[in-house]
C-alpha cells in the first residue's frame, strides 16, 4: 500500500506529520513525501522548519492513499494547475483521498468535493462552499472514499480512523497505544463552540490583520 503526502511551500508541518506518524506505523506501508519540485520544503513563511520531498509528483502518480495537508501556502497552490491536475488524477485511482485542515480547499480547487460533505479548519469552513462542498463542523468526515478533517491537530484523529477503516480496528488501536495518544488538552478551548467568544474574536481579528 502506497501513501503519498503532498508537500508544498508554506505547509503547516503538523498537518503532514500527524498522519505520517500514524500511517508509517502500519506494517508494509510505503509512505512518500511528494512535491511539485522535490527537495527542501519550508513549512511556512520565515519558518525555521524544513521538510524534504523525496519525490516529484510525476514519480508518485498513483497513491493508494493520498494525504493533502493545509497551511498558509495552500492559497498559492490553489492556483497551481500542475498540482491540482495531479490531485485530480491521483484521486481517480486512490482507495482513500484525505485532507487535513485547509488541505480540503486544495481538494475543492481540484474539483473533487462537489456535492461532498466535508470539513476543514473552523476558520475556513465557509470557503468550502465555493467548491460546491457541504461544510460540516465535525472532527473527521468520511464521505465515500474521501476523508476530510478539521484544523491542524485533527490529522492524527483522521489517520487513526483511516487505519481502522483500511486495516481494521486492532491495527488502529495498536498504533494509538504506541503513540500514547491519550490527549489531555490543558484547556477546553480547542473548538470555537467551546472557546470564550472573546478568544474566538481575537483570533479572527488577528487573521484579518494578517490579510491586510
Which H/E stretch holds residue 134? strand 134-135
Q: Is 62 in the site for its own copies (CB under 8 A)?
A: no
Catalytic position from the list 101, 128, 159, 162:
101
* CA-only gyration radius of the chain, Å: 16
Q: Is 68 in the site for its own copies (CB under 8 A)?
A: no
Q: What is the maximum alpha-carbon separation in the chain? A: 48
- Which grid cell is 75? 492559497
Alpha-carbon distances, residue 110 vs 36, 87, 136, 154 (angstroms): 15, 7, 19, 22
**Among residue numbers 168 through 207, which ones bind its own copies (CB under 8 A)?**
169-170, 172-174, 176-187, 189-192, 194-195, 199-200, 202-203
CB neighbourhood size of 168 (10 A):
11
Q: What is the DSSP letter of 114?
A: T
Q: Is 49 in the site for its own copies (CB under 8 A)?
A: yes
What distance in Å separates the CA atoms of residue 135 and residue 128, rounded to the nearest whole number?
6
What's the min distance (Å) between Cβ of 90 and its own copies?
17
Catalytic positions, written as ranges:
101
What residues line the site for its own copies (CB under 8 A)? Answer: 12-14, 17-18, 20-21, 24, 30-33, 40, 47-52, 54, 101, 121-122, 139-140, 150-154, 156-157, 160-161, 164, 169-170, 172-174, 176-187, 189-192, 194-195, 199-200, 202-203
Amino acid at each position: 500500500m502506497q501513501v503519498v503526502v503532498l508537500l508544498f511551500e508554506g505547509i503547516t508541518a503538523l498537518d503532514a506529520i500527524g498522519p505520517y506518524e500514524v500511517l508509517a506505523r502500519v506494517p508494509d506501508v510505503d509512505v512518500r513525501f511528494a512535491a511539485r519540485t522535490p527537495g527542501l520544503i519550508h513549512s511556512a513563511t520565515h519558518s525555521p522548519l524544513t521538510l524534504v520531498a523525496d519525490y516529484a509528483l510525476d514519480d508518485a502518480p498513483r497513491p493508494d492513499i493520498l494525504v493533502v495537508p493545509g497551511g498558509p501556502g495552500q492559497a498559492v497552490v490553489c492556483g497551481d494547475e500542475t498540482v491540482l491536475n495531479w490531485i485530480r488524477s491521483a484521486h481517480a485511482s486512490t482507495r482513500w483521498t484525505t485532507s487535513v485542515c485547509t488541505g480540503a480547499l486544495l481538494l475543492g480547487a481540484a474539483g473533487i468535493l462537489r456535492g461532498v460533505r466535508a470539513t476543514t479548519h473552523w476558520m475556513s469552513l465557509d470557503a468550502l462552499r465555493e467548491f460546491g462542498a457541504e461544510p460540516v463542523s465535525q472532527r473527521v468526515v468520511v464521505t465515500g472514499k474521501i476523508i476530510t478533517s478539521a484544523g491542524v491537530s485533527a490529522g492524527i484523529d483522521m489517520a487513526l480512523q483511516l487505519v481502522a477503516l483500511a486495516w481494521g480496528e486492532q491495527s488502529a488501536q495498536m498504533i494509538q497505544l504506541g503513540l500514547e495518544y491519550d490527549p489531555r488538552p490543558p484547556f477546553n478551548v480547542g473548538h470555537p463552540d467551546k472557546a470564550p467568544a472573546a478568544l474566538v474574536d481575537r483570533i479572527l481579528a488577528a487573521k484579518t490583520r494578517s490579510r491586510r
